[in-house]
Structure 1
Amino acid sequence: MRDTASPAPERRGGHPVATRAAARLDRLPPSRWHRRITLVVGIGAFFDLYEIFLGGVLAAVLAAQWNLGHTARSWVIAAGFLGMFAGANVLSVLADRLGRRRMFLVNLGAYSLFSLASAFAPNLSWLLALRFLAGVGLGAELVLVDTYLAEFLPRAVRGRYLAYAYTFGFVGVPVAALLGARLVAGHQLLGLDGWRWLLIAGALGAGFLQVMRRQLPESPRWLVVQGRDAEARRIVAGIEERVAAETGQTLPSVPEAENVPERRVPLGEMFRGDYRRRTLMWWVFQVLQTVGYYGFGSLAPVVLTAKGYTVTDSLLYAALGYCGYPIGSALSIPLIDRIERRTLIIAAALGIAACGLAFGFAAAPWAIVAFGFLLTVCSNVFSNAFHVYQTEIFPTGLRSSAIGIAYALSRLTSAVLPFVALTVLTDLGAAVVFAGSAVLMVLLCLDVALLGPRSTGRSLERI
């Protein structure tokens, strides 16, 4: 009897090497090994999300300490997003050329270095420049989280485990706001202003994770696309051995896989055949989702100060609302593999639109916190569904590039958003800001419903 845990002979004919390796990974039962890589990779999302929402915290804090005007506050938020735009374009493409693991180490290393340096910025110009460079380092982080985990996780639990990874990551959002509320108002520690410690904390945490990630293997699916078949087979065989030992069970036999060869894919393939429709759909999606999703998180402290609350109260109320991010992420876990991704994305987007409108009109603290909390719960059901979905609609040879370029558009939109939103906020009020956001989320729903393919429960190669 053939040992299914050992590498099987690969053929170039009926079952291409890539498809065979994919089938071997997909049929594995979930194990401690899968949970470990989900944790190590998911913690990286913490720093990306911490940094994204830190922009709004810093804008609210430094407006008082450095006497920042409307435009300067917008730049504090935008600088990191502009860096992420550049990093997502460059590092995500390099991940398809040089490997997922290598870019994991490059991006967090750059972020840790420049985030630490920005903590000692003497003025606004230095702060903006260093936050831009830190953003470059983080630009491909979420792209790599999605791509890497999708290429390792069995298809039966792909959505659920990616949702677990983001649940770890989204703890960073209320942490950023709660730390901000605690460290503002002139507090100093060891002679440094409290806001500087927010940047130091992110840098040190990312540096520690960098050490943990050095133990991660390269993606076998990517290795096969690069023609490194023997290395891919060795990694898959090692994973099978560990999973068999951890579960104490005989591994299922490798199913007959569809003959869908994975190969190197030129970047231009994004704009040909079926992928052209998917690329168009996802570019439109990323621009629109940024306004509804990141608009609240990055602007909430500024919106609340515009409503007349103090900086400390604004950060506290925002932090309480942000608690919905990890809770919403956790709530998505039992849903994400049971409901078709498109349906879940659309339902959650409509929830974001409705709760955003209620938040924009809210005046009482209880209403601000309640609707902010419900908005963030919907936001992370939405976010987890779309992060899984985007990994499933492009092939391995193009996956990181296609996701990263679309993601870069969202970061560019995030950089422009403060200038537009804060102008509308000043001239027309919070209700108009969130009414406009609601309209864009409805357009997003139409985009996904009309152009998005089905994906739930299918292998990456089949999709």
Structure 2
Amino acid sequence: MDRLPWARWHWLVVIGLGTVWILDGLEVTIVGSMSEALKPEGTGLGLNNFDIGLAGAVYVAGACLGALFFGQLTDRFGRKKLFLLTLAVYTLATVLTAFAPTALWYFIARFLTGAGIGGEYAAINSAIDELIPAKYRGRVDVAINGSFWVGAAAGSLLTIPLLNPTLVDPAWGWRLAFGLGAVLAVGILLVRRNVPESPRWLFIHGREEEGEAIVRDIEETVARESGKQLPSVSESITIRQRKSIGIGLIARTVFTLYPKRTILCFSLFVGQAFLYNAFFFTYGDTLTTFLDVKQTGWYLAIFAASNFLGALLLSPLFDSLGRVKMIAGTYILSGTLLAVAGFMLGGLTATTLTMFGAVIFFFASAGASAAYLTASEIFPMETRALCIAFFYAIGTAAGGIAGPLLFGKLIEDASASKDITGIAIGYFIGAVLMVAGGLVEAFLGVKAEGQSLESIAQPLTAEDPAGSTSGTGPNPTTATQTA
């Protein structure tokens, strides 16, 4: 798989799997942009500023638990089954959100929506990395994670007509926005059905014939589409196949074999989760509460476009300059700029705050996307989905749940005096966490660019030259996989 040239088939993987971030961006932005529409008792749900932050925290809590629950199922039952199931969960929950009659219903629906998205992260990141050639893995993963902002921009622009009372009844505008998210998810589901199971996962779980058949089909398709003769296979690895691998064994192996990588991923996820969930979940509320902005869609669209361009334009550098330099640089630079914005907050207008944020998050978006890339490629194959889920859940619980609650409370307390500097403390906390994450990357980062997944982290079931394994116990089958 790593030796294949880029072909149209790889775009099928990118479109079928990567579009989940568009859905997540759409969800987060709609909530931020619709904050005012959700407040009235008659046409909305009677939410206050703290409730808006609480809704963000509930969504993130659902994503954390969903990632852990579906992550272990992804490693156990396969990538494809789970990336179909989690998208179905998201779609159903989004429909329930659109029909929410009360605030409680809305919070429950947001939790379930988050659970579907969290499960998507675990299933999708692991599948993408196992299907994309090593030469392109960094740029593809970062760019795909950055596509969150395509959804964010779409959500921002979507709210402009839907929140215009002359065009759409205020009681229906926000409901239609959530409903359109479900329609997009159904379209993605139709494309995703054609994406195959990961051959790596099939091989390790004793289904090498299915895996070999998929690889042959992919090779024939890529050779036909690219018009190139494929190079011969030069490396192989022998593993002991198992139908299932216990969570306890996975956890012990990861924490005892890779403690530095564990600290690294935790630091990266906490920093980016606090920064993004705190800032973006409540940005629309900040504009309306302190800067008298009536229509936040245009501001959020500009902000989102900058984030996507940052991930897209900087992504090739993660393969050329390398992971460590780029992740450390983007984290430290964006954190420093965020601290500067906190000191200048009292003198910024809605326009200058948005432009300042656009510059900060141009760099932060690439770094944050690379956090998912890091977790998905530096741990053994058998643990990949669960590791993504674990670090996403733990990091996001620490930064993503506390962030929206803190910002919601800061906005609520400062709203009476209309003093925007009251939320500066949130900026400073985010800045410290981002800079700290960058420093950890500089010292503990893994140079994974251009390397096969098996060379970055040997599978737990791989045999050493003497024929022993890394401690997985007796297994029914031994087989050799070519790289």
Given the two structures, how large is their TM-score scaled by the length of structure 2?
Answer: 0.85
Q: Label 1:170 to 1:163 Cα distance change in 2 as closer, same or farther (>3 A).
A: same
**1:65-84, aligned counterparts within 5 Å?**
65-84=44-63
**Alpha-carbon deviation of 1:404?**
0.6
The one-letter amino acid paired with 1:76 is A
Deviations 1:204-242 (A, max 9, x none): 110121122111110000011111111111111111111
Rounded to whole Å, the distance in 1 between the matches of 2:255 and 2:110 is: 37
Aligned match for 2:338, one of 356, 376, 388: 356
**Alpha-carbon deviation of 1:167?**
4.6
Q: Label 1:232 to 1:187 Cα distance change in 2 as closer, same or farther (>3 A).
A: farther
Aligned match of 1:30: 6
**1:4-403, aligned counterparts within 5 Å?**
25-64=1-40, 65-184=44-163, 186=165, 189=168, 193-257=172-236, 266-312=249-295, 314-360=296-342, 361=345, 362-403=347-388
Rounded to whole Å, the distance in 2 between the matches of 1:420 and 1:151 is: 38
Q: Secondary structure at the match of 2:134?
A: coil
Rounded to whole Å, the distance in 2 between the matches of 1:418 and 1:167 is: 21
Aligned match of 1:453: 446
Rounded to whole Å, the distance in 2 between the matches of 1:62 and 1:191 is: 10
Q: Label 1:277 to 1:176 Cα distance change in 2 as closer, same or farther (>3 A).
A: same
Give the conservation status (yes or no) of the 8 Å contact 2:162–2:173: yes
Give the conservation status (yes or no) of the 8 Å contact 1:38–1:162: no
Rounded to whole Å, the distance in 1 between the matches of 2:369 and 2:119 is: 17
Rounded to whole Å, the distance in 1 between the matches of 2:74 and 2:251 is: 17
Aligned match of 2:465: none
**Alpha-carbon deviation of 1:81?**
1.2
Q: Label 1:311 to 1:366 Cα distance change in 2 as closer, same or farther (>3 A).
A: closer
**Alpha-carbon deviation of 1:192?**
5.2
Give the conservation status (yes or no) of the 8 Å contact 1:54–1:298: no
Give the conservation status (yes or no) of the 8 Å contact 2:330–2:438: no
**Alpha-carbon deviation of 1:401?**
0.3
Aligned match of 1:424: 410
Give the conservation status (yes or no) of the 8 Å contact 2:67–2:119: yes
Rounded to whole Å, the distance in 2 between the matches of 1:96 and 1:115 is: 26
Rounded to whole Å, the distance in 2 between the matches of 1:275 and 1:180 is: 45
Gaps of 5+ in 2: 415-420, 457-483
Rounded to whole Å, the distance in 1 between the matches of 2:241 and 2:321 is: 28
Number of paired residues? 438
Rounded to whole Å, the distance in 2 between the matches of 1:272 and 1:395 is: 12
Deviations 1:44-82 (A, max 9, x none): 221122223333223343135444334322222222112
Aligned match of 2:476: none
Q: Secondary structure at the match of 1:398?
A: helix
Rounded to whole Å, the distance in 1 between the matches of 2:177 and 2:164 is: 14
Rounded to whole Å, the distance in 2 between the matches of 1:66 and 1:187 is: 21
Rounded to whole Å, the distance in 2 between the matches of 1:44 and 1:291 is: 21
Rounded to whole Å, the distance in 2 between the matches of 1:294 and 1:328 is: 18
Rounded to whole Å, the distance in 2 between the matches of 1:256 and 1:215 is: 29
Matched, 1:444 2:437: yes
Q: Secondary structure at the match of 2:452?
A: coil
Identity %: 29
Deviations 1:16-43 (A, max 9, x none): xxxxxxxxx1111111111221122111
Give the conservation status (yes or no) of the 8 Å contact 1:84–1:139: yes
Rounded to whole Å, the distance in 1 between the matches of 2:396 and 2:255 is: 25
Rounded to whole Å, the distance in 1 between the matches of 2:159 and 2:260 is: 42
Deviations 1:92-115 (A, max 9, x none): 110000110000110111111110
**Alpha-carbon deviation of 1:358?**
4.4
The one-letter amino acid paired with 2:35 is A
**Alpha-carbon deviation of 1:339?**
1.8
Deviations 1:437-457 (A, max 9, x none): 111211112222233322112
Rounded to whole Å, the distance in 2 between the matches of 1:346 and 1:261 is: 37
Rounded to whole Å, the distance in 2 between the matches of 1:410 and 1:200 is: 30
Rounded to whole Å, the distance in 2 between the matches of 1:92 and 1:316 is: 36
Rounded to whole Å, the distance in 2 between the matches of 1:461 and 1:340 is: 18
The one-letter amino acid paired with 1:373 is A
Deviations 1:234-291 (A, max 9, x none): 1111111111111122110111346687876532234443323322332233222211
Rounded to whole Å, the distance in 1 between the matches of 2:313 and 2:131 is: 23
The one-letter amino acid paired with 1:213 is R
Gaps of 5+ in 1: 1-24
Q: Label 1:457 to 1:182 Cα distance change in 2 as closer, same or farther (>3 A).
A: same
Q: Secondary structure at the match of 2:35?
A: helix
Rounded to whole Å, the distance in 1 between the matches of 2:160 and 2:253 is: 44
**Alpha-carbon deviation of 1:410?**
3.4
**Alpha-carbon deviation of 1:168?**
4.0
The one-letter amino acid paired with 2:432 is V
**Alpha-carbon deviation of 1:90?**
0.3
Given the two structures, how large is their TM-score scaled by the length of structure 1?
Answer: 0.88
Deviations 1:103-145 (A, max 9, x none): 0110111111110121011121111111111211111212322
Rounded to whole Å, the distance in 1 between the matches of 2:267 and 2:82 is: 26
Q: Label 1:259 to 1:450 Cα distance change in 2 as closer, same or farther (>3 A).
A: farther
Aligned-pair RMSD on alpha carbons? 2.3
Give the conservation status (yes or no) of the 8 Å contact 1:78–1:415: yes
Q: Secondary structure at the match of 2:72?
A: helix
